[in-house]
Structure 1
């Protein structure tokens, strides 16, 4: 409903079309409570300072104040299914060996020898080892972190009585993810996420999925700019025009939950409100099918009189996914089958819990260049119902010149969408550095996730620097 100009308070303006909740309320199989809700909060209209994206001192402050205090997803439990399996998680200059040291115990050790500091395991690796041995001089630790051996121990009598256990980050397990935090004084993961966001995460049962495709690419842009490119649907019309005929972009829904979680819901199977004079319900079907290479196997359903294209698509997706997964999806809502649900878990994790494209995005700053970001895309699918073992995908690392569409197993159409966002990032990083304007101007509603995210950054940047304390992080 349109409202006369000047009668709205800041943050109240919305696209003059049906809302996301109006759209999903018409679905045949109704949405669960975590989807059929709204939680927007107006957080101000001030510009965001550009210095946070271009100043190397700001980046150094993030490592000393923010990364050392926050909960981060280090890996999935299926990355380390057996005792002795390990996965190395790097965040800037910090590095951790996340290892399963017992059937139901996972620990995360700072990846540095206590002798002369050599990394115990190379960055970006995973594998199996029943001991953690330094490749330089052979100092060795057991999986429980206790010191096993010092070669030529007679020359280190002065270490007797010292605590020589490997320092540990805190570990929490939730949703099939292994989370770590370097700060011994940080709140629990549950308190950090907050009750409502935690209830959403538990409802998705992501522990019942596994990663079948993992692709990584480095971007020439600050990590925050790279994340923010995926926080709104405002850019869809100009950046991804090929999807607009079947995407409710400008009437997407935006929500914030506490200090560390936000989301948007973008509906599919509807025409963008900006294009309703150009496209019909039948055009939505055409856009989804895209010939013989469509996600629906080349089928082109016919709309009956009065039918919604969105409902036809939901019914077809349900049938397709039931066949593919040998599962009964009668009670899974239409919105879970069709729509994009994107959650940001501060500082660097996106979760997409939908049925049609369940994904994980992870963003990590390059410690050597504040203008570069390591971006990972991981695709999930349900675990086999018979409980058989799954093989978690190894990461494919693309070069700067490569398209995401080149990754083995990547849907070419989705790869192109990721490439389109990449092109924007090239221009945005360079434009911000060239700009005479000292800040970035954000929409009150459609870009609320960016403001929420940057305000969280500001809260940590206002704290005193806090580097990991080895005495606090070594087990007694």
Structure 2
């Protein structure tokens, strides 16, 4: 492979350095099948129109067409562990009460009283209740959504024979997550994700993890711009120069799976191909152990003659994580310990299933301002060996001017990386609005996730507005 594209078909060009799969194949502990695979698809080279980022009417169309028809992760199951536990999920003007009922089922009730529309539970709230009572006039529903009480029912004789249960979105549970979809006709969650990505998701066993750190921050940029800042490693050299000496950025791997899932694999413990002449194997070790980018807490492993820094790092990470989690990781591959595996589940979820940095990102648009996004970062750990599930972390909400590094429990070096990613968003949103150009130009390979994501946005935006049928939503 080389950088000369004249003899290559569109989408075939790759950086001439060793590929991600070649790096992984040299590891001592072999990669699982879901990691040792590729699934790239060329999706065209046309510019992507900028209206989707800057036009408030486009955002209105998304709320009418896209959001009601897609599967969204609303919370972890351990947010509602017992009957009566509830968690309110808000998405723009939509709001749902995620509640576990007396039978152990999880419901997603529309958060609106059938009397005069008052929200039954405040936005972004959670707690415990044995019924769902409207604070305005006291209409009350059971946890399963059936009507419990209408005060002064003598004055509502005209409701006899009507369905008075709370409307519900569809709910599925997968990998320890609760997912909802407002559309009764949407495909099942498994069909939506697709067979190949489902195979990957099941292999990670995320149901055996819990969230120990949850941080939220809002940004003055469109939700899609904010998501797309995390979809490629092409930006690493200029945005995160401190990690380039130990990160395979421009030879990262990109894959797509159907309409709704894509990923990249970015290798660690190797120098950026752009810096090969400037850094040695010993320099890679030093990058991990010095300064804000350190991942080893000040510990510096010894690099012996002829050893690869990547393998030394993998061995040390294995020992560190085994000690920290009191688990046996001898069966875990080196790539799972070291590398960044980033999966997008359309429309707004990122899963990072690796061992070293298992994370969740979620992005939600602000219905009142198409230039504003709610961004959440959640970090996971394995559940204790005794099978218990620790209490999920409370959400820490940062102000606009705060750094991610200020969040309690956040690694300062990683907080700085998140700040660098999101600091670009201010200039990008304003630059697009100032631009004389009608769209953005994307790399065929390194930015395939952005193109794949926007093609799926276009697919939903071509549909008619979703019109909920309350009779069907009430069962």
| TM-score, structure 2 normalization | 0.99
Q: 2:119 matched to 1:115?
A: no
1:20/1:293 Cα in 2 relative to 1: closer, same or farther (>3 Å)? closer
Q: 2:371 matched to 1:345?
A: no
8 Å CA contact 1:84, 1:143 repeated in 2? yes
Tell me which residue corresponds to 2:66.
Answer: 66
Query: Per-residue displacement from partner, 1:235-263 (whole Å, max 9, x unpaired)?
Result: 00000000000000000000000010000
Displacement of 1:272 in angstroms is 0.1
1:293/1:344 Cα in 2 relative to 1: closer, same or farther (>3 Å)? closer
Tell me which residue corresponds to 2:177.
Answer: 177
8 Å CA contact 2:82, 2:104 repeated in 1? no
SS at match of 2:221: coil
1:222/1:110 Cα in 2 relative to 1: closer, same or farther (>3 Å)? same
Structure 2 CA distance, aligned partners of 1:374 and 1:318?
A: 34
Tell me which residue corresponds to 2:419.
Answer: 419
SS at match of 1:234: coil
Displacement of 1:157 in angstroms is 1.1
Q: 2:32 matched to 1:32?
A: yes
Q: 2:404 matched to 1:404?
A: yes
Structure 1 CA distance, aligned partners of 2:16 and 2:240?
A: 22
The answer for unaligned runs of 5 or more in structure 1 is: none
1:43/1:474 Cα in 2 relative to 1: closer, same or farther (>3 Å)? same
RMSD: 1.1
Structure 2 CA distance, aligned partners of 1:360 and 1:195?
A: 21
Tell me which residue corresponds to 2:100.
Answer: 100
Displacement of 1:469 in angstroms is 2.0
Aligned residues: 475
8 Å CA contact 1:82, 1:103 repeated in 2? no
Tell me which residue corresponds to 1:240.
Answer: 240
SS at match of 2:69: coil
1:407/1:118 Cα in 2 relative to 1: closer, same or farther (>3 Å)? same
Query: Per-residue displacement from partner, 1:50-76 (whole Å, max 9, x unpaired)?
Result: 001011110000011110100000110
Tell me which residue corresponds to 2:227.
Answer: 227
SS at match of 2:46: coil
8 Å CA contact 2:3, 2:15 repeated in 1? no
Tell me which residue corresponds to 2:283.
Answer: 283
SS at match of 1:199: helix
Q: 2:197 matched to 1:197?
A: yes
Q: 2:129 matched to 1:162?
A: no
Q: 2:127 matched to 1:147?
A: no
Displacement of 1:305 in angstroms is 1.0
SS at match of 2:336: helix
Question: What is the 5 A alignment of 1:73-92?
Answer: 73-92=73-92
Displacement of 1:293 in angstroms is 9.2
1:50/1:293 Cα in 2 relative to 1: closer, same or farther (>3 Å)? closer
Tell me which residue corresponds to 2:303.
Answer: 303
Tell me which residue corresponds to 2:395.
Answer: 395
Tell me which residue corresponds to 1:22.
Answer: 22
Q: 2:258 matched to 1:258?
A: yes
| TM-score, structure 1 normalization | 0.98
Q: 2:29 matched to 1:41?
A: no
SS at match of 1:68: helix
Displacement of 1:400 in angstroms is 0.5
Structure 1 CA distance, aligned partners of 2:291 and 2:181?
A: 47
The answer for unaligned runs of 5 or more in structure 2 is: none
Tell me which residue corresponds to 1:209.
Answer: 209
Choose 463-472 or 361-370, whichever is displaced more. 463-472
Tell me which residue corresponds to 2:135.
Answer: 135
SS at match of 1:443: coil
Query: Per-residue displacement from partner, 1:81-110 (whole Å, max 9, x unpaired)?
Result: 111101111111100001111353111000
Question: What is the 5 A alignment of 1:4-15?
Answer: 4-15=4-15
Query: Per-residue displacement from partner, 1:329-378 (whole Å, max 9, x unpaired)?
Result: 01100000000000000000000000000000000000100000000000
1:160/1:378 Cα in 2 relative to 1: closer, same or farther (>3 Å)? same
Structure 2 CA distance, aligned partners of 1:293 and 1:23?
A: 22
Tell me which residue corresponds to 2:436.
Answer: 436
Displacement of 1:294 in angstroms is 3.9
Displacement of 1:4 in angstroms is 4.2
SS at match of 2:442: coil
Q: 2:445 matched to 1:445?
A: yes
Structure 2 CA distance, aligned partners of 1:292 and 1:341?
A: 22
SS at match of 1:95: strand
